[in-house]
Structure 1
């Protein structure tokens, strides 16, 4: 699938966010025209392709920015048994390793990272989210169980918003898509505004609008028969730090940093970086240049 590159700071301070894939969806009702309007509102996130999956209970819309498997990564995407459908924004950095674990069980049709999601779900259920390393937000519809899942990455790099309307549900990469429905309140949430003025960002589950919620990082939302619940699937490990010298810290951090950068270099289009000239960005670009197959 189209993995989508970009940059953002979850805390929102001095943040910048590049356009990438956009996802939309509705659950508990049918409204093809609404879905089209919602998806069209996110065209700036994915100018390359538009795709839809529509049923009586759940429908997905997708705007694609092609990064991996440019020819075969169309979305929404289904599992081989056609029972799990996925609408995805982001990158799964360890998808190659996860593919190898399913080589004897699953017949992959593409080389894109999106396909690992329905494949893993087919054999492991929603528990598979704990194995994902990456930046992502996705929706997964289990046709046989008639259950919808919305999932956000561990630290919230990729955005995912939703709006409950009784036993119905709307979701999207940006609040503006949800506001296409006339019942979603555009009223500003005073508590969210107050928090923004203090912190310069709106923390989840709040959004700036009363009628819109933000799925917290490291959580998934489950919707079935009009009932929804939000569950945590990951939290930051807490360990007591051992006393180390500066050289010992550097020795421990370097392989971790190199591995993190290596995983993020997967792409079928040219890679680039914003270089400020500071120690952090200069170090990252230097390691990128060492590991990239083409000039950065």
Structure 2
């Protein structure tokens, strides 16, 4: 029986939960966002002999961007071309949406060691749009301090591309409204940072070692209320001070002297 790609359905959830349990040591977010993605649409699964063995999602972001995410293949079925099949499907779906005037480009982010995804992207004409640095922190390394809730303004958005979790949006009025709906904004010592709602991936809105040092106790306080660990997404311009960031109590998943998060883009019009 040939594999088919179709829209996800509520009854697919147990299969998605199984894939999530077997991905990233059980830390995959896919099961947590299943219901939301189902409601949002453009959420697809790869089915083989009645079993869902893969997933892919296309999310509409500001500035007519189709954001590619959630591409997963069950570990038992990897190495058989199913990842490429899902990738090709989402690219073609993106082209359809571009013809309808709904998007103008496809974008996605990936870890720097995800060589298979990077190779596929480059082969299909994607280019690196931006590079970021992801660092991990543990609450136990800091003395948590409660921050204040704050408002997000356009003046706070100093980067041309702003991360929220592992999604990235282009600066502008539409992005500002998008972020206001999906991010919590905190302030401490005059410095603001974003937190993806319900998660502990933080985006500082001021940069430099002193700024980060001032914000870390507040980030630790937010993380303490959730799961005890957190992640910072920083622009590649922070790479020269990576040793200083480590001395502040932050760490890398894999040692590197290059940005470890890549954002890719492929224009469609």
What's the TM-score bracket when you normalise by the shorter of the two chains?
under 0.3
User: When you count strand as a share of all residues, which structure comes out higher?
Assistant: 2
Using CA pairs below 8 Å that are at least 6 residues apart, which structure has the higher relative contact order? 2
TM-score (ref. length: structure 2) = 0.27
TM-score (ref. length: structure 1) = 0.25
User: When you count helix as a share of all residues, which structure comes out higher?
Assistant: 2
